[in-house]
Structure 1
Amino acid sequence: MTGNKRFFQMMTLPAALLILLVGCGESSDYVAKVDGEKILQTELDDALREQYGTEVLDTLITNKIVELEAKKEDISVSDDAIQEEYKELAESYGGEESLQEALKANGLTEQSVKDNIRMYQLTKNVIAASIDISDEEVAQYFEDNKDNYGQKEQIVASHILLEDEATAKDVLAKVKAGEDFSELAKTYSIDSSTNEAGGEIGYISRGQMDEKFEEAAFGLEKGSVSDIVQTSDGYHIIKVTEKVPAEEAVFEDIKDEVYATVLEERINDEYTSWLAEKQEQYKIEKM
C-alpha cells in the first residue's frame, strides 16, 4: 500500500487502546508505583477513557457502519489480500523483524495490525462500490500526470568521497593509473554509508543528489570517471556504471495502474461525505 508507515501511525492509537477502552473489567491491580504509592489499573483505564474514549468510540461506530454496508453489498476482504498488505507493510519497515519491533514498541500484535488492515481494505472496497469512473476520466488523469508514469533518466553511480582536495587528487591519480575504483573507495572514502560497498550509491534520478554532483554524474558516459567534484559534503570522484534513458509511458500498458490511482484518490476525496451520508441513514445511540 502507499504510505504504509503513515497508515500504521494512524491506526496505532485505536488498536493499542481498544482492550482498555472497550469491555475491560474493573481491576485493583496496579500498573506502577511512585515511592511505594500505587497507580491502579483502574486509574489508567479511566484516564485513557477520558482522553481517547470519544475518538475510539467514533472509530468503532464507523467500523460498524462499514461492516453493515459490506454485509448489505456482499463485500468482503480475502485472507490473501490481508496477508499481501501485511507483507508490504513489513517490507516498508525493512522486513518482518523490524516490523515486529515496531509493533512491540507500540503495544500492538500482528493480529491487531491484520484486523486494522482488514477494516482499512473493507472501507475502501465498500466506498469503491459506489464510485463510477469512466475511461475518459482515467485517460485524462494519465495525460495530466504523464511525467509521473514514464521512466525517468537514471544512472547507476559509485563515488569516493574525500575530505580535502589534496587527498582527492592523489586518489584520482590512482584511479587514472588503473587501480580498482571499488577498492580505493573502501580504503579512502569517508562516506560510511557506501564505502564498504565499494562506493556504490545505486540508481540515481535527477533531483536526488547535490546539483553539482548530478551535473557531473549525468554528463559521464557509461564506465567513465569524473574529475574532482566539490560539494558541501567534500570532494567526490564519481564513476557511472550504468545509464538508463528516459522513456515515455504508454497509456495502454499502464491503464490498470492509472485506474487504481484514480480510484484511490476518489475514495479519499469522497470518504467524509460518504460517511456523513451513512451516519444519517443509521440510528446511532451513544450510551
Structure 2
Amino acid sequence: MFSFHTSVRSAAVVSLLLLGACTGQQHTENGAAAPVEKVNGAPITRAQVDRTVKTLIGQQDPKQLPPDMLKKATEAALNQLTAAELLYQDGMKLEIKDLDKQVTTRITQSKYQYPSQAEFDKALQSVGMTQKDLEEAARKDIVINNLIVQRFADKAEVSEAEVRKYYEENKLKQFTQGDRIKVSHILIGVARDASVDTKRQAMAKALAVLKRVKGGEPFADVAKKESTSPTKDQGGSLGIIGKGQTLPPFEKAAFALKPGEISNVVETPLGYHIIKVEQKLPPATERYEDVKNQIAGNIKREKIRQLLAAYVEQLRSKAKIEKV
C-alpha cells in the first residue's frame, strides 16, 4: 500500500484558492459587492464570480467569449464557489491548530515572490483584491485542505496492483519519451514591446556574444556573465528537454543542431538566444520504479476528487442555497 504524508488538494477547488473563493467584503465598483447567491447565509458576490471566471478561461477576455460560453463559464464558476463555501463551512467544524499563524505564514510567503510591498499591492489590485481578501482566501484554502486531509486522504488508498496496471496501460502514451536534447542557452532578453532602438541594441549585444562563444570562449562562462535568463547561474543549462517544451523558434533551432554545435542568434518573444546542444538522447521509456510514486499520487488525487465531489453533493442537499 502506498502512503502519502503531504497535503492533498482537490482539483475541484484549486482554481478558487487565491482568485475566486475568498469571502467577506469586496470592492463596490460596478456592483461587484452585490451577492448573487447565499450559501447558508454566506454571500457569494459578483466580484468573486468574475474573478473565478477569469481563472477558468485563462488568458481570454470574458467580454470576447460567445454568450453561451460565457454563460457556461459563469455557471461553472458559481458552482465551484458554492462547493468551496460548503467545504469551508464544514471544515470550520474541525479543529485547526494555529490557523491565524498559518494564514500569516501563507501571506508572508506570497509577498516573498515580489520585490517590494508596492509590487505586491499592485499585483493584488490587478485582480481586484485587497490584502484582507487575500488573507480570507488563504484561510479558506487552509481550512478546506485540512478537511480533505483529515476526512478523505486515508480513505483514498492506492494499491501496488492499481499502479502497475496504470503503468502498463499507459506506458506508450505517457511514459515513452521521444527525441531529447541536453541544451544550454544564453539569452539577451528584451521586452516584446521594446522600441526599435532597444531591440537593435539587444541584437547587437547578442551578435557580439555569439562571436565570443564561436571564437572559443567557454559557453558556460559567457552565459554566467552575459545571459539574462535565470539559467545563467547554471552556465545557461536548461537540462534535458523534449519537443513541445520550449518556444517553437527555439525548438526548431535547437533540434537542428548536432552535439557541440552552437546556433546563430535565434529570436523569440523573450529576446535573442544563442543555443548550444550538449548531447542528443534517443527515445526511451521511463522505468516503472522511477514513476510509480508519481502514478500513485495521481490515482490518489483522483480518488479524493471523486470522494470530495460526492461529499459536496451531500452538503448541497442539506444546505440553504438562495439565488439573489
**TM bucket normalised to smaller:** 0.5 to 0.7
Aligned to 2:275: 238
| Pair 1:64–1:258, CA change in 2 (3 A) | same
Give RMSD over aligned pairs: 5.5
Question: Aligned letter for 2:140?
Answer: N
Aligned to 2:33: 48
List gaps (5 residues or longer) in structure 2.
1-7, 45-81, 189-198
Q: How far apart, in 2, do the equivalents of 1:197 and 1:64 lie?
A: 46
Q: 1:18 aligns with which of 7, 18, 24?
A: 24
Q: How far apart, in 1, do the equivalents of 2:272 and 2:135 lie?
A: 50
Q: Give TM-score scaled by structure 1 length.
A: 0.55
Aligned to 2:139: 115
Q: How far apart, in 2, do the equivalents of 1:91 and 1:243 lie?
A: 39
Deviations 1:160-205 (A, max 9, x none): 7797x99998876654443454687799x8x865898798363351
Aligned to 1:157: 184
User: CA contact under 8 A between 1:212 and 1:231: conserved in structure 2?
Assistant: no
Q: How far apart, in 2, do the equivalents of 1:248 and 1:48 lie?
A: 53
Counting matched residue pairs gives: 247
Aligned to 1:37: none
- SS of residue paired to 2:275: strand
Q: How far apart, in 1, do the equivalents of 2:107 and 2:168 lie?
A: 29
Aligned to 2:262: 226
Q: 1:267 aligns with which of 290, 304, 319?
A: 304
Q: How far apart, in 1, do the equivalents of 2:111 and 2:168 lie?
A: 30
Q: How far apart, in 1, do the equivalents of 2:183 and 2:106 lie?
A: 28
- SS of residue paired to 1:51: strand
Question: Aligned letter for 1:120?
Answer: I
Q: Give TM-score scaled by structure 2 length.
A: 0.51
Matches within 5 A, 1:120-199: 120-125=144-149, 126-146=151-171, 153-159=180-186, 175-179=213-217, 181=219, 193=229
Aligned to 1:203: 239
User: CA contact under 8 A between 2:207 and 2:265: conserved in structure 1?
Assistant: no
List gaps (5 residues or longer) in structure 1.
21-30, 32-42
Deviations 1:227-278 (A, max 9, x none): 5376677986432457788764443455343222111122224433332134
Question: Aligned letter for 1:7?
Answer: V
Higher RCO (C-alpha 8 Å, min separation 6):
2
- Shift of residue 112 of structure 1? 3.0
- Shift of residue 131 of structure 1? 3.5
